[in-house]
Amino acid sequence: MIIGITTTLNEADHFQRVNVEYISRIAETGAVPILITPIPGDPAANEQLADSVFPLLDGILFTGGGDVHPRHYMDATADHVREMLHPELCSENDPPRSPYGKPSRAAGAGSDCVHCPVDDALRRAVDNVPGQNGTAVLDGRDITTPASTANIPCLDGLLAVSDERDALELGLARRAFDEGMPTLGVCRGMQVMNVALGGTLYRDLRVCGITDVQHMQEKPYSDALEHAEVVPGTRLAAILEGHTQGRVNSIHHQGVNLVAAPLTVNAWSEDGIVEGVEAADHPFFLGVQWHPEYLAQHAFLFQALADACAARA
């Protein structure tokens, strides 16, 4: 079995990288890990790459890393805010923008971003995210990256936005969902899966006013410092053998806002942040916000991915 692992671009030296922990976890299952990297060029070239790579794989692991560009979910965000502010202008018969259906906010989730006006200024900022070099933590590693400086607070500080990576991964995620390929998403990877199917993200959990909790823990990342409540009856709960709560690590500043129509939430943080999603009508399409690659006690998630690949073969 071959499981593809996505990579992160280090903007400072133009090296593609992936944490060795991901590779080790996949290799431990007996599957063959291969790296999937975007290619230089426009997004269309990477959409074509996704179509070329997909038939070579038995499964996909979407890793952590930089932020998905807001342009990929801003229209859905704007539709939702407009519906909240002007319900008289909206109709239940309006067709959803996504072929997968209209996203929704899961019960118990946070509110809208306090800095999310639906106007031309926001759209101009989304289409042009300028920046300067800085140092940030991505996927549990220090990395030099352009840090954006936008005049919309929740667009300030977007990390390592890559049109090439977005195009490749969003294309792979949609095809994996459509064709039933086993897929596991970690951190950014879970967010990619949600956005690919029409969901949206909070650009920054704290700046958006969603939580005061700092979800960027310090090293070592093998320390599970946060509590996660797993939803009973979900696939994730079955993988956990009936345990509905546990400790996880946390290395992220964004989070799922509206949940894509085909997905359901399978885990929550104590402060109401989505910690996991999954697709019920799929062999294995599951994402978690934490980083199980650093947690030996969570190696079962990678084994579950490999088992789903074997069952599909």
Residues identified as active-site = 187, 291, 293
What is the rounded end-to-end Cα distance, in angstroms, of the chain? Answer: 8
Closest C-alpha among 71, 14, 64, 60 to residue 39: 14
Inter-residue contact 116 to 153 (CB < 8 Å): no
Inter-residue contact 255 to 274 (CB < 8 Å): yes
Q: Where are the alpha helices (DSSP H) in the chain?
A: 20-28, 43-53, 74-85, 120-127, 163-178, 188-196, 235-239, 300-312
| 3-state SS assignment for residue 30 | coil
Strands 263-269 and 8-10: unpaired
Which residue is associated with the tokens 């990256």? Answer: 145
